[in-house]
Amino acid sequence: MSGILKIRILTPDKEFYNGEIIELISKSEFGNFGILPNHIAMITNLIPSITTFKTTDGKTMEAFISSGVLKVSNNEVEILCDACEWPQDIDVKRAEGAEARALKFLQKKEKGDSKRAEVAMARALLRIKISKM
């Protein structure tokens, strides 16, 4: 039994993070969850959230993760996501623009893809929140 987890976070264009951690906290469509060493095997969908993990040297790291999939098996965590960003890499002006566009769409109350606008709003608000942490 190991006290560490190997983690790999992949986006369509890069390997965002690869290392060893001792815990992870993220959010699925069913709510917040945590992963510790020796966790049962699982696969879950991730929703836009701030994912937090603690490295083996005790450093806490946070990243914005867009929608994706998380898999846990044999002390290995793999996250495949649309986008992943460190707080310092977030373009706040772009996120604020996305928030304004989503809000404008939702206020129109026209038929359309309001779910898509709600998700866009959630992503924008989380990016803004983590950039200020």
What is the per-residue pLDDT across 29-54, written as a single tens digit (0 to 9) for each? 899 999 999 999 999 999 999 999 99
Which pTM was predicted? 0.81
CATH of the domain at 111: 1.20.5
**pLDDT tier, 102 (very low <50, low <70, confident <90, very high otherwise):** confident
SS3 44: strand
State how far the Cα of 26 lies from the Cα of 46, in Å rounded to an integer: 8
Mean pLDDT of the chain: 89
Do 76 and 99 reside in the same domain of the chain? no
Q: Which range has the worst mean pLDDT, 16-20, 55-59, 68-72, 117-121?
A: 117-121
68 and 44 together in one domain: yes
- The enclosing H or E element of 72 equals strand 68-73
State the CATH number of the domain containing residue 71.
Answer: 2.60.15.10
